[in-house]
Chain A
Amino acid sequence: MSEQVKTAFELKGVSFKNRVFVASGTFGYGDECLDLIDPSTIGGIVTKSLSRKRREGNPPDRIVETAGGMLNSIGLANIGVEAFVREKLPRVKTLGTGVVANIAASSIDEYCEVLEMLEREEGVDAFEINVSCPNVREGGLSFGMSCPLTEELTRALRPRTRKPLIIKLTPNVSHISEFARAVEGAGADAVSVINTLIGLAIDVETRKPKLSTVTGGLSGPAIKPVALAKVYEVSRAVSIPVFGIGGISDARDAIEFLLAGASAVQIGTANFVDPSTATRVAAGIESYCSRHGIVDVSDLIGAMDASQRVSVVDTWL
């Protein structure tokens, strides 16, 4: 019998069973497919982005499959924070897994308000802030595309919670590590990397964009190499933990993220294909560790062997 592999993950005093989570917007509120998966096998559920009021979301079509991935423009459709607390949380907090509330808003005040409403709720273990939301004050430019705004938002949220505060960064910027450094400086406990990449698909017969909003967010296996590079870049720039996200479908994908510098991973699009992906990934990481004589999954973090390689993040020449 090999020794038990240590899988637990601790973030600011909150302990999660393992380092595998399901990503925001790809697992509902956690109670939709309990027939198909046992959430107690995974580290935690990140909820669909919650806003102050219910949001209807964008008109159809909201999704389109592309090579190795998909584009979505859901438009942050969600039931709103109050309905989440009333209708979803009582059940979700009993599932034996971590609950990370993801928050979306259109002003800093609204982010703060939603966070404060959830701060007093027992059963919410941590916050993840979706900064890829249009900011009404800035005429719709998303918070996450402005480094000063992302920093200001983090600073506003920090004193309002004692729970772990995770900022989910967008890759649609020139230097994501600047954003990571800024939010670390503003008191964030972790960053999530990455949200979807802006993409476009066109029907050539009708010449119309395939999504109602013209562009959407690209996710799935197609984005994995980009996501890995961003995780690598960010994890070298900050000392807070990084949640690696983007195109993970199996344990080997997840281990790549750990090796690149992620402390934990989130599974997104793969849940649509196989809702038990995160369960399989968690088990697969454990058996990989047993096979390789690794006693703690954390020993894999940043353990890519890049010796004799010159690391150039920003150029390929």
Chain B
Amino acid sequence: MSNTKITAWEKVEIARNPKRPTALDYIEQIFDEFIELHGDRAFKDDKAICCGLGKIGTQNFTIIAEQKGRSTKENIERNFGMPNPESYRKAIRFMKQAEKFKRPVITFVDTKGAYPGLGAEERGQGEAIAKSMFEMAKLKVPIIVVVIGEGSSGGALALGVGNKVFMLENAIYSILSPEGFSSILWKDSSRAKEAAEKMKLTAKDLYEFKVIDKIIKEPKVEEKEDFIKKVSKSIKKEITLCISEMNEKNSQEIVEERYQKFRNMGEYKIL
């Protein structure tokens, strides 16, 4: 393990670092090409989630990605990667097309959470997230989820119901932000660092909980160009491997495998 000494809070900071590569940075490297397609066909094109088509060799994919901005201008355009309901409805539209045209779906998770705004509530943020998970849970094609940065709350899980869930070594995945956790649990948002250690939000924790299936290693030095290339190569390798396995299975098996994975989430005691 290259980064075993990094604390949970340090991982939170790494995952949130504005210089950390975003979904589109990886997508460019992983896929031979990427054609972005827009809009939910109902209200607007919300840019916090990018959707489109891509291929690796002869294998076509539908790609759905939570996208943070790489500059202030882009961040404003993309609402800092916090999706409005339209984003999830756009995602659902592309999931259904993927099913129709028998393409596997790759999602990239990287968000502080679904946007908590007036309009988002008016247009049913909760319903949009629920429907997105609902569609994913019954989709007849394979879904691979890659958590690349911050995977926070229902806004992340809305794209998280996959046959396989991969997670970058320094990404985080949690019920909400450590700040939110500490303010709700201890009525004190300044204890975020402590909360981060408590929350079990690192890739290692989540692997132990069987919430994720694979940890994708990150290179030690975060030299941007090399980092993106190396990580993309690892993601690409895992996707290719996974898809070749899944191509052996029929659609019923694919749905059932995914169902069982989420049906068994969380261990409990029998009294």
A and B part of one assembly: no
Interface residues of A (CB under 8 A from B): none
